Amino acid sequence: MITTASDRHAAAPGAEAEVRALDLAAATWATRRRNGLDAEGRAALQAWLAADPRHAAALEDMAATVGQLRQLPGDAVAALRRGLPEAAPEPRRGWRLGALAAPAAVAVLAVALVGGGWMGWTRWQALPTFEQAFATERGQQIVARLPDDPARGSSVQLDTATRLEARLFRDRREVRLQDGQALFSVHADKERPFHVWAGKLHIVVVGTRFSVRHTSSGLDAGRTVVAVEEGHVRVSRAPGQAPGQDDAVAPIELVAGQMLVGEDDGRLGTVTQVAPAAVAAWRSGRISFDHTPLAQALAEFERYRSTGLVIRDPAVAKLPVGGSYSLQQFGRFAESLPFVLPVKLVPQGEVSEIVLRKP
């Protein structure tokens, strides 16, 4: 039977020093293994495990404890650190742990030792408690849950062809949107602001629902669009962007029903109005156009599915289209083009070209 660290302590009250030394060794190996071992380190670990059958159980116990430490709030960690010496000493035979009664405190010491003292501990504390990349395929939508609150975590709904990375820290939450668009439903936590980087923009919220779009094709290609469904967000230019411009440009506050477009050079556009219900209309499978160039509208449909249509004439590409369309009824959009624009569809093998219709 595998015993826990607390079981070992209770089972051997007269051998507390020996048990603590085992815990410290196990926590040190757990920390080193988490940080990555080279071939020599892996061999040394195997030798340590083979030296005593108790070592394997102790290692697994302390590995779990070290992992849990990353989830602790700062005040809990500070309480554990108060039981440590002023300077983290090198472990040695016969060294007594004194006030370190809890396995968690032993793990704190191991992290400090492996990390090179408290500077190493600070760096370790700064590591994310959660990180994961999310991506959707063409035509796919998913909802990703973030474990930033045990009861009501935040969520991110990803639209088609979207890629982002999420990282949670003890003092903040971060998402980097590489391409695509997403709707964020952020659990309110003023102690851990929620940051989104997309294109040349930096968005900060506490708790709200808002969408961010940054795509390489389709509508607003190359630009970043932020729209707020509820609550408020702060939008600013990401540091180091838009060279030659005043870096002291004040952030822009957006509230529900407002939208802002950031240019691909980092300039912030003007705030415009948008119906909160229209924010992230793609959730209901719709695309809206307003005097949108036909080529751009077609590229937007292409993000979701193959349209089978091509445009080669620049004059046709510039023709404006408008209206709201269902992604499931692209055929109707294509069929309506000759009736709303001076064009016709000419079959050319597996595709049809949209060409100008001669008078």
Range of the domain at 230: 130-279
User: What DSSP designation does 31 have?
Assistant: H
38 and 105 share one domain: yes
Q: Any bridge partners for residue 194, and if so which?
A: 173, 205
Among candidate residues 94, 125, 156, the one where a domain is terminated = 125
Question: What's the sign of the alpha-carbon dihedral 64, 70, 76, 77?
Answer: positive
137 and 229 share one domain: yes
Residue in 333, 228, 243 with CA at minimum distance from that of residue 279: 228
145 and 256 share one domain: yes
Q: Any bridge partners for residue 8, and if so which?
A: none
pLDDT of residue 10: 47
141 and 92 share one domain: no
135 and 267 share one domain: yes
148 and 272 share one domain: yes
Low-confidence ranges of the chain (pLDDT < 70): 1-20, 70-125, 240-248
pLDDT of residue 155: 96
Domains identified in the chain, total number: 3
275 and 344 share one domain: no
- β-strand pairing of 194-198 with 173-185: parallel
Among candidate residues 74, 97, 125, the one where a domain is terminated = 125
Structure tokens that stand for 10 in this block:
């209770």
- The answer to whether the beta carbons of residues 177 and 148 sit under 8 Å apart is no
- The answer to whether the beta carbons of residues 241 and 200 sit under 8 Å apart is yes
Q: Which residue in this structure is represented by tokens 């408008």?
A: 322
Q: What is the H or E stretch that residue 316 is in? A: helix 314-317
- β-strand pairing of 252-255 with 232-237: antiparallel
In the chain, what's the furthest Cα-to-Cα distance? 101
Q: Which residue in this structure is represented by tokens 């990180």?
A: 131
pLDDT of residue 80: 59
192 and 228 share one domain: yes
147 and 262 share one domain: yes
Give the tens place of pLDDT for each residue, 130-170: 899 999 999 999 999 999 887 788 999 999 999 999 999 88
Among candidate residues 279, 305, 338, the one where a domain is terminated = 279
Q: Which residues neighbour 67 within 8 Å (Cβ) at sequence distance 6 or greater?
A: 34
12 and 119 share one domain: yes
75 and 178 share one domain: no
Whole-structure pTM value: 0.67
202 and 117 share one domain: no
